[in-house]
């Protein structure tokens, strides 16, 4: 541990000399990316202006990230606000000719990439890390959650998350997708768009956000792998998605949401997805308790090739996650892709070298876990920070998440089976806080605030943690959360699903 700390100090001293100059480069190069984004934003504004007269909205929502809305609102003078038509604050109709085909094509691609992250990416990543007797049960969780959340999101989830309402939750105007207008044949002239993405059909934005709602509960499964009943998992994920995920998504990403209106920055889900899932995972492994034999029996991953393949799919799919969150095929999307790649590579190397120093050898599991930690940490920052910020966030994520998944977990004694909290919870917190440090206004339209970011982190931790704990306790009392010790020893594949791998 002393060697790791010394290495961190040395790395910090080397970085300190170069960060100032690199940050200056970010600020000077940012206008180029910003100007590229402006071209796409102009077409978005045209779509908004066309239908603004038919709306009664008074607020200014963002087309890509909630932070843009607050930045624009604070900068606008009363005179210009009076002269310009009010931008819509709810889904609205536009002429089909106003849809940007390039943006739509990119968002269709991003949607497929993010779904690819869960099935098969996350399923294989987690499946390779468990013991052979539990691999089918593990991949089954990701697949079943994909189907379950698709239905929930269609029925009510999207409406509660992405329509105006209170600062905590949205409304019911899109229940069963009511009011969403698709293109019906060649004669259709209008269709609905989201006020958050006015250059693409609302149906595309709906499915894109659905893929985020799918992967978030699937991430939690890594914390309680090998020991939760399948029935209890389905009940918990249903309730958690509606009571925890949806309100957090609304508060952070809907312009009328509490945290969004306060100026909390989260480009692609550091709070909504990773801190949210991470703290819920920690609560689940605390309520369930440790696996039978934990700390006494070997629980080595059964197939790290699957984990490497799954981790690689996550890396590729994450470009849809982060660059897709620009909700446009523009310079900001390209810059988010750049920062994502840089941070991921730095985190993979950071974890690898930290493990090499601490344990004497670098491992496949280590470098893949480091890459995922970097992807997690850059998620809230991808569209707000420059290259220097991405470098620091990546290196910090690799080292800190290695520490949390090894030393911290051992010290506190909880059994986070596949390090859902150690990677997603801790990595998400780190990334969210460092977004407040490294955000560049010329890139993302908003300066960072460490205090505001800490507020977003704290509220997510408290709300998700408390509600998740209560839900788990209630489910445990009603139907029971955990399989018996005998069933756990035999393996969940046979016990829960009547199948096994040879």
**Residue 23 covered by a domain:** no
Structure tokens at 290: 């440790």
- Would you call the peptide bond into 120 cis, given omega within 30 degrees of 0 as the criterion? yes
Residue whose entry in the numeric block shows the structure tokens 């970010």 = 26
Give the side-chain half-sphere CA count within 13 A for 67.
Answer: 28
pLDDT exceeds cutoff 60 at 63: no
Among 23-37, 274-288, 314-328, 468-482, which stretch is predicted with the lowest mean pLDDT?
23-37
- Sorting pLDDT into bands at 50, 70 and 90, what band is 94? confident
Q: Which of the four pLDDT bands, split at 50, 70 and 90, describes residue 160?
A: very high
For residue 364, the tally of other CB atoms under 10 A from its CB is 15
- 44 has pLDDT over 80: no
Picking from 286, 498, 262, 311, the residue whose alpha carbon sits closest to that of residue 412 is 286
* 37 is a domain residue: no
3-class DSSP state for residue 382? coil
Which has more pLDDT, 156 or 78?
156
34 or 317, greater pLDDT = 317
State yes or no: pLDDT of 240 exceeds 60.
yes
pLDDT in tens, 29-39: 444 444 444 43
**By the 8 A CB rule, do 271 and 460 touch?**
yes
Structure tokens at 181: 């207008």
Q: Which domain holds residue 303?
A: 96-497
What angle, 0 to 180 degrees and rounded to 10, lies between the N-to-C axes of helices 426-438 and 450-478?
160
pTM for this prediction: 0.84
Give a yes or no: residue 14 inside a domain: no
pLDDT in the model for residue 188: 61
Report whether pLDDT(70) > 80: no
Contacts of residue 153, Cβ cutoff 8 Å, sequence gap at least 6 = 206, 209, 210, 213, 214
Backbone angles phi, psi at 381, to 5 degrees: -105, -15
Displacement of CA 225 from its chain's centroid (Å): 21
Q: Would you say residue 84 has pLDDT above 60?
A: no
Task: Answer yes or no: is 4 within a domain.
Answer: no
Nearest to 428, CA basis, from 188, 239, 196, 216: 216
Whole-angstrom distance, CA of residue 24 vs CA of residue 386: 10
Top-confidence residue, 67 or 437: 437
Q: Which two tokens stand for residue 197?
A: 């993405």
- Tokens 């996350």 sit at which residue? 122
User: Residue 491 above 50 pLDDT?
Assistant: yes
Domain contains 169: yes
Residue 140's SS3 state is helix
Position 74 scores a pLDDT of 42
Strand partners, 191: 94
pLDDT at 72: 40
CA atoms within 13 A on the CB side of 113: 19
In this structure, what DSSP letter does residue 421 have? I
pLDDT band at 484 (very low <50, low <70, confident <90, very high): very high
The CATH number given to whatever domain includes residue 409 is 1.10.3430.10
Region 231-248 average pLDDT: 98
22 contacts: CB under 8 Å, gap ≥ 6: 386, 387, 388, 391
Give domain status of residue 63, yes or no: no
Residue 356 maps to a domain: yes
Residue pair 116/313 in contact by the 8 Å Cβ criterion: yes
Half-sphere exposure of 124 (CA within 13 A, CB side): 17
The count of structural domains within the chain is 1
Residue 54 has what pLDDT? 35
Residue 191 lies in a domain: yes
pLDDT band at 182 (very low <50, low <70, confident <90, very high): confident
d(CA 232, CA 218): 14
Q: How far apart are CA 274 and CA 272, in angstroms?
A: 6
- Dist. CA 172–CA 180, nearest whole Å: 12
Instruction: Flag the least confident range among 150-154, 182-186, 209-213.
Output: 182-186
Asked whether the beta carbons of 279 and 392 are under 8 A apart, the reply is no
Q: Half-sphere exposure (CA, 13 Å, Cβ side) for 282?
A: 23
**Nearest CA among 120, 90, 109, 121 for reference residue 204:** 109
């Amino acid at each position: 541990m002393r060697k790791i700390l010394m290495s961190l100090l040395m790395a910090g001293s080397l970085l300190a000399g170069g960060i100032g100059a690199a940050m200056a480069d970010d600020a000077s190069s940012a206008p180029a990316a910003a100007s590229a984004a402006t071209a796409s934003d102009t077409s978005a504004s045209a779509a908004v202006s066309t239908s603004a007269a038919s709306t009664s909205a008074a607020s200014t929502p963002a087309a890509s990230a909630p932070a843009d809305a607050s930045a624009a609102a604070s900068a606008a003078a009363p005179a210009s606000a009076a002269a310009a038509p009010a931008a819509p604050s709810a889904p609205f109709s536009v002429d089909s000719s106003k849809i940007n085909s390039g943006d739509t094509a990119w968002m269709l691609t991003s949607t497929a990439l993010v779904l690819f992250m869960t099935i098969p990416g996350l399923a294989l990543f987690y499946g390779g890390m468990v013991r052979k007797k539990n691999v089918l049960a593990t991949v089954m969780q990701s697949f079943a959650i994909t189907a379950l959340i698709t239905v929930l999101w269609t029925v009510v989830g999207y409406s509660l998350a992405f329509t105006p309402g209170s600062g905590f939750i949205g409304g019911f105007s899109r229940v069963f997708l009511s009011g969403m207008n698709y293109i019906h044949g060649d004669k259709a002239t209008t269709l609905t768009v989201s006020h958050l993405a006015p250059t693409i059909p609302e149906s595309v934005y709906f499915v894109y956000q659905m893929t985020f709602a799918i992967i978030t509960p699937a991430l939690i499964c890594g914390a309680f792998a090998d020991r939760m009943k399948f029935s209890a998992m389905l009940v918990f994920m249903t309730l958690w998605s509606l009571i925890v995920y949806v309100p957090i998504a609304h508060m952070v990403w809907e312009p009328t949401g509490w945290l969004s209106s306060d100026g909390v920055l989260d480009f692609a889900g550091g709070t909504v997805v990773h801190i949210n899932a991470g703290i819920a995972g920690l609560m689940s492994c605390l309520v369930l308790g440790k696996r039978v034999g934990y700390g006494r029996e070997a629980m080595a991953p059964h197939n790290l090739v699957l984990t490497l393949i799954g981790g690689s799919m996550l890396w590729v799919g994450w470009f849809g996650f982060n660059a897709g969150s620009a909700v446009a095929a523009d310079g900001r999307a390209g810059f988010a892709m750049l920062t994502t790649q840089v941070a991921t590579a730095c985190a993979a190397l950071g974890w690898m070298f930290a493990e090499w120093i601490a344990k004497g050898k670098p491992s496949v599991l280590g470098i893949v876990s480091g890459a995922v930690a970097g992807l997690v940490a850059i998620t809230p920052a991808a569209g707000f920070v420059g290259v220097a910020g991405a470098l620091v966030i990546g290196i910090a994520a690799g080292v800190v998440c290695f520490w949390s998944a090894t030393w911290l977990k051992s010290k506190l004694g909880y059994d986070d089976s596949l390090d859902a909290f150690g990677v997603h919870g801790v990595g998400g917190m780190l990334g969210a806080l460092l977004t407040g440090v490294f955000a560049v206004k010329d890139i993302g339209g908003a300066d960072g605030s460490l205090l505001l970011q800490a507020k977003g982190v704290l509220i997510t931790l408290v709300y998700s943690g408390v509600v998740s704990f209560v839900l788990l306790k209630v489910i445990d009392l009603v139907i029971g959360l955990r399989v018996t010790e005998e069933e756990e020893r035999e393996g969940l594949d046979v016990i829960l699903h009547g199948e096994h791998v040879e």
